[in-house]
Structures are given as structure tokens and as C-alpha cells.
Structure 1
Amino acid sequence: MKDLLLQDVAHDCAVNRFGFYCVPEAFQHTEVAKKLRRGEVNEPRTLELISRMVGEGDVISGGSFIGDFLPPLSSFLVPGARVHSFEPNPDAFDAASQVIALNALLNVDLHPVAVGKEEAVLPFQNMRRSGKAMGGLSKIVEEHIEGQTVEVPVTRLDDLIDAGRKISVLQLDIEGQEWPALQGAQGIITRNMPMIVVESLETTEARVDEDKLAELAPDAGYKFMGKMERNSFFLPLAARGL
């Protein structure tokens, strides 16, 4: 983690009811950054639901972007439980690391990787053609684009997180890579049957994901429960005796 020099970033700092944040200049145009700088919480209803569903388990949440979810998720956990997060964008990873330090989040593990179906090194687009940072819209792409992409390591969630951890919630917002990430978490999903939360802009996408989850974890009985704040929610009905 880079040394945190508050005098260098004070004008980019923000606070809400969960804690403190540092917003790099390159990301201040993003929706998340604007909310934080107004003292607001990003996706508060999603976070409130996660707080009620996490129980005694861990939360997987990624990509972390600038760490806006990390302080609230950390506060929801019982002693001994952990937040597992990841962020392949180097600048966003540094910002999220600063959030962990500012708030002394001792139960958060942050990894500088992308997650997917299998281990790889892939091009990750974090800059627009104009030279402006893409922020939370950064994503894995098929080919390298000079000046716009960087090479990032990709790993499976099954390899990133110890198989002995109890996972209660799996939340993903990774710009179209949610399904490969779920495929790479098949072991976690079949063992733990967590509530799954994924960003999906269309309800039709969620219906397709429900069918895919039925194949990925047939014993869990995942059911699409609806959408809120651009997120789709899936519950494992078998884990609830339904």
C-alpha cells in the first residue's frame, strides 16, 4: 500500500455516515465520487439488504472501485468475518487502499486482480481515447489498445479465497464480466449458497443468469428475486427449505 499523505489529498477527501474516503482527481467526474463528496452513500438500499443477509459469514464484493462499499460492508460483519474484495484498476486500487487505511478496516482483504472463469493475463481498459479515466466503467476487453489499456492478472474467486471461509453474500459489479466471475466461483457457490447480487441493466439479463445459475449450482435452487439500484438479486431457495 502506498504511503498516505493526507496533506496531498485533503481536497479530494469525503465523508459519509460510514466513514472517510479519498477521491482521486481522475475519478471526480464519476457518479460514485459525486455522491461521496455530497456526503451520500452509494446504493444505500442494496447495502441495507446485504447488512440483513450477511449473518455470521463473509462478504465477497468487487470490483471495489475507489472503496465506497468497503466501510459499510466492514461494519456489517460479526467478529472473525471478513470482506474479500478486488480491483484491477491500479489507480482505483490505490484509492480503495487509502480508504482501508483511513478507516482502519482490519477485516477487509483487497486484491489487485480481476476475477474470471480461469487464470489469465488480459487487457484492461481504464482510459478513454480522449485520455480521460474511465473510472467505474473500466473493463476487460478483447485486445490491447495503445494508451487505453493495461495488462492485469485474472484469477478465479475459488483460487483467491480460502475454501474454508463461510461466504454469505457474493456481490459483483464488474462491467459485463459477472458471469465469467460466477463460473470461477462455482466451488464457493455450491458450498455456501450465498445470496448473489450482480449488476444487470436489463431484467432479461437476470432471467438468463437465473438459468445459468441453475446449471452452475443445481442443488441451490437460485431464484431471481428482482432488481434494485441496477442490481439483480438471486436467492438460493434450497438453503431456505423452499
Structure 2
Amino acid sequence: MDELTFLTRWHRPGLIVDAGAHDGLLTLPLARLPGARVLAFEPLPEAHARLARACAGLANVTLRREALSDAAGTLKLVLPVLDGVPQEQWASTVKSYAGFGQRVGTRRLSVPAVTLDSLALADVVALKLDVEGAEYEVLRGARETLRRCRPLLTLELEERHREGATWAVPAFLDALGYDTGFHLDGRWHPVAALDRPRMHRASPDPSVFGAASERYVFNFFAWPRERDAEVRGV
């Protein structure tokens, strides 16, 4: 199951927050869901410009050129450059991309950051996170929103971007009354069932495309425990 399938299947009208929207791969189909409004965050200037063009004329989409984090301020966004080509989807506020050899360079940008809680949103029904290792900070800055709104969550968690992420993020959400799992072979599995050596091995180096797990699991889903029977069908 992918992010769009999950968010579509259990969609409720309201506000969907897209953190790490890039150029709108999910922003646009999410905006077409019944009764949906989308608040999309994309701090990378070039990607934000493409996102703005793609969303032009969509009254139910609001764009912000900021990163979400656990405190307001300014963050360093590091964009790896492989053989002279920027790798936008690897841009991260928590990775330096140092020590990967001559093929991998970097661009560093200062980007504004806000917390989701600071926006005092009233009707968040879903939160999609694709932030290359900064998931924990985003969720810490959204703690009160999660408690108040109880949204569904999709999370791209990768140990190659943030060591310990597949443990720390589910533990944080567990304390807020959320279950986290992944969907494989047509059924739900708890995050505790993730066999990291077989199912979650990949290089943190943008120039290395091999040596990944044969079945690389990195899409995780979280839901409030009060919706467990609805989501898991039990």
C-alpha cells in the first residue's frame, strides 16, 4: 500500500498537511479528494516554484515555502549534488552528506522553519511526511495538533537518513495513542515486525543504488488507536 491509497481509503473531509511536498506528486491528487483542503510545505526554492505552477488556480491548496520542525527559526537545508545534478528528493535538514567521495557535492540553503502547532489548525485529518530524516522534529512540533485533531499519518522512515528513526518515531507516536505499521503482502504488520537486515537496508550515499534490501520497506502508516478497527478491519 502506498501513501495515496492509504489516505484515500480512510479519507475524511478536512485539512491534509503535506510536509515535503516537492513538486506536487501527492499534493495534487490529495486536493481532489472530496471535501479536502491541502496545506503544502516545500522549502526548496526550485521545487516550490514548480509546485506553485502546478497548483495555480487551485483554491483549496495553500503553499508555504517553509520547513516544518520543532521550533521556529532558520534551518540549514543540505541538497546533495551527484555528478553536478542536484538530487532534490534527498534534500535534508538533518544530514550533511559529507564523506561520500568526489561524485557527491552539496548545496546549503538557509530556509525558514515553523512548527505545525504554531498554526493552531483546527481540522487536520491527515499528515503526510517525506522529510528525509527530520520526521521526529516535525512530529515534536506537531504534538498538540496530533492530540487535538487525531489525523492519519503517512511516514517515510529510513535508517539511511536518520539512524534510529524506525524506533524513535513509532515510540513517540505510541505515547500519543497512535499505532504504527506497514502494509506488505496484503496485510498489516506492526512496526515491531520490521526485519531491518532483510527489509530495510539501503545506502545513505546518493551515488550508491545497489546493496538495498530486496523488499525495501520505508513507507509506514500511523493511526489513532480509536480508529484501529476501522483501519485494520478487525
**How high is the TM-score relative to the length of structure 2?**
0.71
Aligned residue identity for 1:90: P
Does the 8 Å CA contact 1:158/1:185 hold for their aligned counterparts? yes
The answer for the alignment partner of 2:46 in structure 1 is 91
Query: In 2, Cα distance between the equivalents of 1:135 and 1:224?
Result: 27
Query: In 2, Cα distance between the equivalents of 1:119 and 1:108?
Result: 23
**How far off is 1:205 after superposition?**
4.0
**54, 63, 84: which is aligned to 1:110?**
63
Query: In 2, Cα distance between the equivalents of 1:173 and 1:241?
Result: 26
Query: In 1, Cα distance between the equivalents of 2:221 and 2:154?
Result: 5
Per-residue CA distance 1:122-175 (angstroms, 9 max, x = gap): 2111242754212111111477x997111101110112x3432x1111110000
Secondary structure of the residue that 2:53 maps to in structure 1?
helix
Secondary structure of the residue that 1:47 maps to in structure 2?
helix
Query: In 2, Cα distance between the equivalents of 1:170 and 1:65?
Result: 15
Query: In 1, Cα distance between the equivalents of 2:69 and 2:173?
Result: 15
Query: In 2, Cα distance between the equivalents of 1:77 and 1:151?
Result: 36
Cα distance 1:188–1:77, how it changes in 2: closer, same or farther (>3 A)?
Answer: farther
Identity across matched positions, percent: 25
Does the 8 Å CA contact 2:16/2:126 hold for their aligned counterparts? yes
The answer for the alignment partner of 1:167 in structure 2 is 124
Cα distance 1:241–1:68, how it changes in 2: closer, same or farther (>3 A)?
Answer: closer
**How high is the TM-score relative to the length of structure 1?**
0.69
More helix by share: 1
Answer yes or no: is 1:151 the counterpart of 2:110.
yes
Secondary structure of the residue that 2:25 maps to in structure 1?
coil
Stretches of structure 1 that go unaligned for 5 or more consecutive residues are 1-43
Answer yes or no: is 1:210 the counterpart of 2:170.
yes
**185, 191, 195: which is aligned to 2:152?**
195
Query: In 2, Cα distance between the equivalents of 1:118 and 1:59?
Result: 21
Answer yes or no: is 1:68 the counterpart of 2:68.
no
Segments ≥4 residues shifted beyond 3 Å: 204-208, 239-242
Does the 8 Å CA contact 1:225/1:235 hold for their aligned counterparts? no
**How far off is 1:191 after superposition?**
0.2
Aligned residue identity for 1:153: P
Does the 8 Å CA contact 1:123/1:142 hold for their aligned counterparts? no
**How far off is 1:196 after superposition?**
1.3
The answer for the alignment partner of 2:213 in structure 1 is none
Aligned residue identity for 1:63: G
Query: In 1, Cα distance between the equivalents of 2:86 and 2:62?
Result: 25
Does the 8 Å CA contact 1:129/1:148 hold for their aligned counterparts? no
RMSD value, Cα: 2.7
Aligned residue identity for 1:232: F
**How far off is 1:86 after superposition?**
0.5
> 1:19-98, aligned counterparts within 5 Å?
45-78=2-35, 81-98=36-53
Give the aligned length.
Answer: 188
**215, 220, 223: which is aligned to 1:232?**
220
**How far off is 1:54 after superposition?**
2.1
Query: In 2, Cα distance between the equivalents of 1:205 and 1:147?
Result: 23
Query: In 1, Cα distance between the equivalents of 2:155 and 2:228?
Result: 20
Per-residue CA distance 1:61-95 (angstroms, 9 max, x = gap): 121111111210000131xx410110110000001
